[in-house]
Amino acid sequence: MLSDIPKKLSGKKEEIDAEIARAGMIAELDATTLYEQMAAMASDKSLKETLLDIAKEEKTHMGEFQALLLKFDKQQAKELEEGKKEVEEKG
């Protein structure tokens, strides 16, 4: 399912960059999901491999946007680490 990314980003001026990074992350997650779903349905091996390669590239883009978001939003960076610790504790 594709998200409905807002056409007009809003917020305080200092928060716009973080909002843009989040919108980019949403777009990359949507693209990854779409390409992986299509790859699962494709019968042609070349098409399947191409779709999976493109999905992999989208994951790299996701990482780029995440790195930028963590630069712009220090609370997000802190909470990401907290979430990672919680998952590790649960094993």
The pLDDT value given to residue 12 = 82
Confidence class for position 44, pLDDT limits 50, 70, 90: very high
Average the pLDDT over 59-86 and give the result.
96
d(CA 62, CA 43): 27
Confidence class for position 67, pLDDT limits 50, 70, 90: very high
Domain-by-domain residue ranges, the chain? 14-90
Helix (H) or strand (E) holding 5, with range, is none
The pLDDT value given to residue 17 = 92
> In a 10 Å sphere around its CB, with 0-12 CB exposed, 13-18 middle and 19+ buried, how is residue 28 labelled?
buried
**φ/ψ (deg, to 5) at 65:** -65, -35
> In a 10 Å sphere around its CB, with 0-12 CB exposed, 13-18 middle and 19+ buried, how is residue 39 labelled?
middle
Looking at per-residue pLDDT, the higher value among 67 and 12 belongs to 67
Q: Which amino acid is at 49?
A: E
The pLDDT value given to residue 3 = 66
How much is the pTM? 0.83
